[in-house]
Amino acid sequence: MHVLITGAAGMIGRKLLERLARDGGLNGDTIETLTLTDIVAPAAPEGLSANLALKTADLAEPCIAEDLVRNRPDVIFHLAAIPSGGSETDFKAGYRANLDGTRNLLEAIRKTGDGYKPKVIYTSSIAVYGAPFPHSIPDDFVLTPLTSYGAHKVICETMLADYNRRGFLDGVGVRLCGITVRPGKPNLAASGFYSGIIREPLAGLETTLPVSEDVTNTHASPRAAAGFLVHAATLTPEQLGHRINMTMPGVCCTVGEQLAALRRVAGDRVADRVTRKPDPFIMKIVEGWPSRFDCTRARELGFTAESSFDEIIRVHIEDDLGGDFVR
């Protein structure tokens, strides 16, 4: 099996590689060849014996996508994207990376022809939805995004579904909820504070909360996100039908409930490292985001996530902090 991962240097890409290494392959199949690409150099994964190709490349540039699919990868995890905050502050760069890069990849697959039909798992986002919302948002709720990033994801979901319908690929669109707790340094995602208010205090650092404590979101851990992608690769066209894009499950809670979970898991001293400092830019973006979802279809298809935010914090401590934290 040949697996291609775009955006492999990003957090979810790294977590996916850890999962593949831990499993020793993809869903029971040995990975003979692994191609990793990103706009910065992706790191070679530990624990995988596959023939490895590391490529620093920009999918929005001409001919890059053609080069990536020339050897006909069997499974493609398309993770490469500029996140929400970056897409809002740089309109042109957001469309270039998120729309043009995806279109180039899909077109390269189509042009390969000769019976080539890879499995393509695309990471979408709950940003495809826009207010006003029902209490719980189903997969078929109208897509009216209120951010550029959400618009990019809607367009790319539609392209994926059309290329899938035309038989050029076997696609699955995985709408990720808030992935929390993200390890490492903050990125340009407007949602970064959801992780920051947990990650920094556990590392002994002070941090700020830019929104009110009644802001609600649905969360899943990076471990769960990697699991979503791996499971998506197992789904057949018969299971999916034509509705190939769906929202992943997670834990729905308020920011205040996140902080209460942090206090239960790590104690008062850790939780008190969070201070409140409203940020109008972040608040404006967040107010247009959905928060609660009906993920019945994803669960029926076998996707699973954590059952509490306490569990999400414990996963972060176990996976990224070596089992301990700064008290």
The CATH homologous superfamily for domain 2-179+221-247 is: NAD(P)-binding Rossmann-like Domain (3.40.50.720)
Work out the number of other CB atoms within 10 angstroms of the CB of residue 153: 31
| CA–CA dist 274, 256 (Å, integer) | 11
| pLDDT tens, per residue, the chain with 327 residues | 999 999 999 999 999 999 999 999 998 999 999 999 999 999 888 888 899 999 999 999 999 999 999 999 999 999 999 987 788 889 999 999 999 999 999 999 999 999 999 999 999 999 999 888 998 999 999 999 988 999 999 999 999 999 999 999 999 999 999 999 999 877 667 788 999 999 999 999 999 999 999 999 999 999 999 999 999 999 999 999 999 999 999 999 999 999 999 999 999 999 999 999 999 988 888 877 788 999 999 999 999 999 999 999 999 999 999 999 999
Residue 116 annotated as catalytic: no
Phi, psi of 274 (to 5 degrees): -95, 125
Q: Give the end-to-end CA distance of the chain in Å, rounded to a whole number.
A: 45
User: How do residues 143-199 score in pLDDT, each as one tens digit?
Assistant: 999 889 999 999 999 999 999 999 999 999 999 999 999 998 776 677 889 999 999
SS3 label, residue 134: coil
* Assessment of whether the complete model's pTM goes beyond 0.75: yes
Sheet (strand 216-220) strand order? 178-179, 216-220, 251-254
| CA–CA dist 181, 197 (Å, integer) | 9
Tokens encoding 223: 């471990």
Active-site residue identified among 95, 122, 129, 149:
149
Q: Smallest Cα–Cα separation from 4: which of 36, 39, 42? A: 36
| CA–CA dist 25, 27 (Å, integer) | 6
